């Protein structure tokens, strides 16, 4: 069975968040553990072009395609990318994508061109067989949802036959809303704007169309598949989610346990495993030294995240003064919305010796932080799955997190024999309650805390179970 994954981001090329990890690791696991033939197609955006120039094996253009957009024919190159061992990755390269951000937010950044170009390249490539005989197209988030949309309503491609589509929703908040004026530019039939398909308050909603047009809709955790049926988490599409309940399921993400492995990770100063946490203690010492943080014997709480409202940064800003006043250290790695970054910084004012915010995206640094911290703070407003808490757990760093979405499905509270400190309500008091529990375990129950840490490290977080579930879905749907 040959499955083509289509994603706006993929690790090694242009990762921004968890989707970048999943778009890399899931196809790899499907191939290695499930025997499926997989390939990933992503646009050459973000830092990708730079990497392609310096990578060990540059991806040369293997195919050239012409795709029709905005009344012109655009030449795109399809390149095979091999920056690291992993799945078969194909990058779509075009002058229209050069220097553009992974997620454009304005016309000048490519809002109306990037993902239509990706979708058209996929359809043109599939129709020409450049990826072989494709049995199923698995698209990710609203940028991927452009593919089923164009496959059905494009004036040319809409008349052809396509393999079935599976849509994975990694974040329901982002839907791809466009003024109907783009339909002409994209050569789409006006029927797409019917309320049964893509119409949403007078606009075209790409995610909605993708949900309607895909044979199966998946979310990245079972809890999130339930939550998006409610107004609180559905972002206006909860009714649509309810109406497609018969084809909507959640499959919990895993992580690549070979790639995220403290006993072999070459990016951390000392390797360690669940049977010997000495290396973790030494990683912490070095990290505190590197970050000039103290007191050395106190607990270190970290955050590794995009700085956006979804991740609970407003709660964190309100809770920080009390947290820091109680003597802990907090290290934040992430960049994002200016207002939230400033909020965090000003909340920590006066505690410069105990607090650091690093406004950068750096995977090697993130690994040192996961390894050297005691706790991961993750007070998410909503969380489709969450990859950060999985990596943290693998490195023996215990989540202090809100019981929501994928966190609910992956983190068990210490009071229930688990390895996390969970809270329910999205309030500062609730967050502080979980924080105080973590602190008291650190100070008063160190042996039990260490056991919890070992428990987290020995969990099966692999893709094994997910692969079986994806294959089950694929086999039901594939072209026979």
Chain positions contacting ligand ADP, by CB under 6 A: 17-19, 21, 304-306, 333-334, 361-363, 366, 386-388, 391
Q: Minimal distance in Å, beta carbon 125 to ligand ADP?
A: 27
Helices 206-213, 141-153: crossing angle, 10 deg rounding: 70
Q: Minimal distance in Å, beta carbon 152 to ligand ADP?
A: 28
Which of 145, 407 has the CB closer to ligand ADP?
Answer: 407
d(CA 393, CA 453) in angstroms, rounded, equals 8
Strand order of the β-sheet with 421-423 is 355-358, 329-333, 300-304, 375-378, 398-402, 421-423
d(CA 3, CA 20) in angstroms, rounded, equals 18
3-state secondary structure of 39: strand
Which of 8, 298 has the CB closer to ligand ADP?
Answer: 8
3-state secondary structure of 239: helix
Which of 45, 305 has the CB closer to ligand ADP?
Answer: 305
- Nearest one of 147, 177, 41 to 97, comparing CA atoms: 41
Residue nearest ligand ADP, CB atom distance: 18
Distance from chain centroid for Cα 243: 26
Tell me if 284 sits within 8 A of 272, measured CB to CB: no
User: Alpha helices of 235-383 — where are they, by DSSP H?
Assistant: 238-243, 278-291, 313-325, 338-347, 363-372
Q: Minimal distance in Å, beta carbon 1 to ligand ADP?
A: 27
Q: Minimal distance in Å, beta carbon 304 to ligand ADP?
A: 5
Q: Minimal distance in Å, beta carbon 386 to ligand ADP?
A: 4
Which of 38, 389 has the CB closer to ligand ADP?
Answer: 389
Which of 232, 415 has the CB closer to ligand ADP?
Answer: 232
Which of 309, 436 has the CB closer to ligand ADP?
Answer: 309
Which of 360, 440 has the CB closer to ligand ADP?
Answer: 360
C-alpha torsion sign, points 175, 180, 186, 187: positive
Q: Minimal distance in Å, beta carbon 358 to ligand ADP?
A: 8
Residue 357 main-chain phi, psi, to 5 deg: -120, 120
For the chain, the residue count is 480
CA distances in angstroms from 310 to 316, 380, 439, listed in the order given: 12, 6, 25
Strand order of the β-sheet with 199-200 is 177-178, 203-205, 199-200
Tell me if 66 sits within 8 A of 75, measured CB to CB: yes
Q: Minimal distance in Å, beta carbon 33 to ligand ADP?
A: 20
Which of 21, 124 has the CB closer to ligand ADP?
Answer: 21
Helices 313-325, 338-347: crossing angle, 10 deg rounding: 10
3-state secondary structure of 152: helix
- Nearest one of 379, 341, 340 to 358, comparing CA atoms: 341
Q: Minimal distance in Å, beta carbon 76 to ligand ADP?
A: 27
Q: What is the dihedral of CA 296, 431, 442, 447, to 10 degrees?
A: -140
Q: Minimal distance in Å, beta carbon 60 to ligand ADP?
A: 29
Which of 138, 170 has the CB closer to ligand ADP?
Answer: 170
Q: Minimal distance in Å, beta carbon 243 to ligand ADP?
A: 26
């Amino acid at each position: 069975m040959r499955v083509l994954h289509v994603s706006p981001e993929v690790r090694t090329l242009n990762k921004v968040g968890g989707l970048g990890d999943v778009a890399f690791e899931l196809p790899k696991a499907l191939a290695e553990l499930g025997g499926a033939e997989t390939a990933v197609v992503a646009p050459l955006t973000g830092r990708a072009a730079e990497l392609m120039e310096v990578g060990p094996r540059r991806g040369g253009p293997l195919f050239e395609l012409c795709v029709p957009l905005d009344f012109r024919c655009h030449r795109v190159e399809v390149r095979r990318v091999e920056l690291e061992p992993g799945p078969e990755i194909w990058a779509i390269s075009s002058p229209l994508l050069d220097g553009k951000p992974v997620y454009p937010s304005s016309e000048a950044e490519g809002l109306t061109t990037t993902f239509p170009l990706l979708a058209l390249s996929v359809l043109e490539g599939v129709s020409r067989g450049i990826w072989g005989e494709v049995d199923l197209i698995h698209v990710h988030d609203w940028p991927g949802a452009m593919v089923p949309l164009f496959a059905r309503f494009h004036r040319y491609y809409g008349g052809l036959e396509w393999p079935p589509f599976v849509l994975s929703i990694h974040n329901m908040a982002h839907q791809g809303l466009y003024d109907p004026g783009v339909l002409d530019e994209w050569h789409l039939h006006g029927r797409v704007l019917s309320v049964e398909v893509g119409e949403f308050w007078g606009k075209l909603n790409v995610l909605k169309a993708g949900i309607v047009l895909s044979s199966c809709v998946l979310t990245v955790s079972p809890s999130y598949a339930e939550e998006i049926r409610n107004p609180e988490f559905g972002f206006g599409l909860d009714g649509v989610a309810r109406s497609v309940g018969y084809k909507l399921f959640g499959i919990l993400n895993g992580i690549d346990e070979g790639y995220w492995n403290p006993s072999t990770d070459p990016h951390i100063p000392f390797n360690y495993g669940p049977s010997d946490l000495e290396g973790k203690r030494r990683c912490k010492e070095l990290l505190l030294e590197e970050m000039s943080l103290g007191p050395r014997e106190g607990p270190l709480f970290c955050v590794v995240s995009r700085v956006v409202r979804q991740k609970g940064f407003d709660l964190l800003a309100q809770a920080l003064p009390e947290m820091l006043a109680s003597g802990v250290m907090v290290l934040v790695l992430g960049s994002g919305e200016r207002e939230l970054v400033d909020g965090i910084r000003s909340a920590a004012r006066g505690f410069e010796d105990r607090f650091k915010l690093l406004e950068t995206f750096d995977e090697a640094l993130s690994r040192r932080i996961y390894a050297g911290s005691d706790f991961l703070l993750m007070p998410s407003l909503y969380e489709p799955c969450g990859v950060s808490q999985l990596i943290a757990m693998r490195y023996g760093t215990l989540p202090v997190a809100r019981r929501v979405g994928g966190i609910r499905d992956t983190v068990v509270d210490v009071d229930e024999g688990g390895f996390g400190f969970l809270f329910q309500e999205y309030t500062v008091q609730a967050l502080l309650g979980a924080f105080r529990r973590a602190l008291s375990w650190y100070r008063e129950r160190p042996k039990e805390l260490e056991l919890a840490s070992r428990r987290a490290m020995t969990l099966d977080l692999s893709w094994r179970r997910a692969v079986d579930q994806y294959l089950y879905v694929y086999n039901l749907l594939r072209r026979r």
